[in-house]
Amino acid sequence: MSNRHTIILMQTSQHRATRTFMDYESISQAMDGICGLYERKLKELNPALRNITYDILDLYNFIDGLADMSALVYDHSIQAYLPYDRQWIKQRTLQHLKKLAH
C-alpha cells in the first residue's frame, strides 16, 4: 500500500496557469510533500520567524484554500491510477502526521 506511485494535482488559484503536479514514489512521500509545500508557504509569509508551528486545522485550511487539489495513486492490481479527492488527501495527511508523531 505505501509503495504506490502518487501524483498530486493542484491549482493554487482560479487561473488555469497555476495548475501543476508533483509526483512521489509513495503516498507517504506525497503527504510529506504537501506538508512541505505548506511549511514553505508559512516561511514565505513569516520570514522573520525562526520556528513556525501549525496544527492540522491550519494545514486543512491551506488545502481547502487551494482552487483544486487531488491525487492519483497507482494501483498495481489494475495497473492504473485511481483518483482521490481533497478530503482523502486531508485524511491521509492526518494519518501520516500521526505516524510521524509516534
pLDDT tens-place string over residues 1-19: 558 999 999 999 999 999 9
For residue 47 the three cell numbers come to: 520570514
- 72 Cβ contact list (under 8 Å, min separation 6): 6, 7, 9, 81, 82, 83, 84
**How much is the pLDDT for 2?**
56
Element (H, E) at 63: helix 56-65
Using an 8 Å Cβ cutoff, are 10 and 19 in contact? Answer: yes
The whole-number pLDDT of residue 50 equals 86
**21 located within any domain:** yes
pLDDT in tens, 45-87: 999 988 888 999 999 999 999 999 999 999 999 999 999 999 9
What per-residue confidence (pLDDT) applies to 52?
86
CATH code, domain with 31: 3.30.2260.10
Judge whether 83 lies within some domain.
Answer: yes
Domain range holding 41?
Answer: 6-101
Per the domain annotation, does 1 fall within a domain?
Answer: no
Count structural domains, the chain: 1
CA angle 72, 76, 81 (to 5 degrees): 20
pLDDT for position 6:
98
